[in-house]
Amino acid sequence: MTRRKSDADRIAILWCPNVHGKKGAGWAFPRAVEKLLRGLTAGKSVLHLFGGQSRWGTRMDIDRTTRPHVVADAWLAPFQRDSVDVVILDPPYFHLNADEKGQLLRQAAFIAREHVIWFHTIWIYSAKSLPLERAWLVRVGDNCAVRCIQVFKVCGLKERPDPFFLRGPAVKYNRWLAGQTGFAFEAQG
C-alpha cells in the first residue's frame, strides 16, 4: 500500500545564516534562498514579477531604478498565457488581502507553464488549479520575520486575470484599463 504524501511531508526548513556588516541582502534574495530557487528553476525559463534585484531570469519591476528587463506592474503583467516555465512571486512584505493575493496568483498561473513559486512572510492557500508541491519555512536571520517558499504546480483550467477591479487599492487601475489615463511605467525613458 502506497502512503499518500501529506502537506507536512512536503515541507522543510531552510536556515539562512545571519548577515553581518553594513549591507545585508537588501531587496535581493538571501544567498541560501537564491541557491535553492536557482536549483529549482535550473534549465527553465523564469520570470520574476517583483524581480528588479534578481540575478537570473527575466526581471520585471515597476521601479525603474532597479533596471529590470521589463518595467511593469505585477498585478497587470504584460505577458501572454504560458509565456515562461516558472513565475516567481516575491511581493513586498506588507499585508495582502485575499483579492490581491488571488489576482497575483491568477496572473502568475496564467503566465507560467509549469510552476509558480511564492516567497513571502504570508503562507498562502493551495487551489485546485494550483496545488502545492513543496514548501520551505525560511529563517533568514535573527530578529526577522520567517518567510516561506511555496512551489505550486500549474494545472487544470487557467483563470484569466481580472480585467477590472471591484475593491481595494487596485481599483486605481480601472481608468488605465479603460484607456482613460496612463501610468508612469508606460512613459518612454
In the chain, domain spans: 10-16+33-157
What element of type H or E holds 41?
helix 31-41
Checking if the pLDDT of 90 tops 50, the result is: yes
pLDDT tens sequence across 106-120: 899 999 999 999 999
Inter-residue contact 145 to 93 (CB < 8 Å) = yes
Q: Mean pLDDT over residues 163-187, rounded?
A: 55
Among the CATH numbers 3.40.50.150, 1.20.120.530, 2.60.40.1840, 3.40.50.2030, which is that of 10-16+33-157?
Answer: 3.40.50.150
- pLDDT grade, residue 189 (50/70/90)? very low
Q: Mean pLDDT over residues 97-107, rounded?
A: 86
Residue 130: C-alpha distances to residues 60, 62, 69, 113, 170 (Å): 22, 26, 27, 11, 23
- pLDDT grade, residue 23 (50/70/90)? low
The whole-model pTM stands at: 0.80
Strands in 112-120's sheet, in edge-to-edge order, are 11-15, 132-139, 147-153, 112-120, 84-89, 46-48, 58-61, 70-71
C-alpha cell at 176: 488605465
C-alpha cell at 5: 504524501
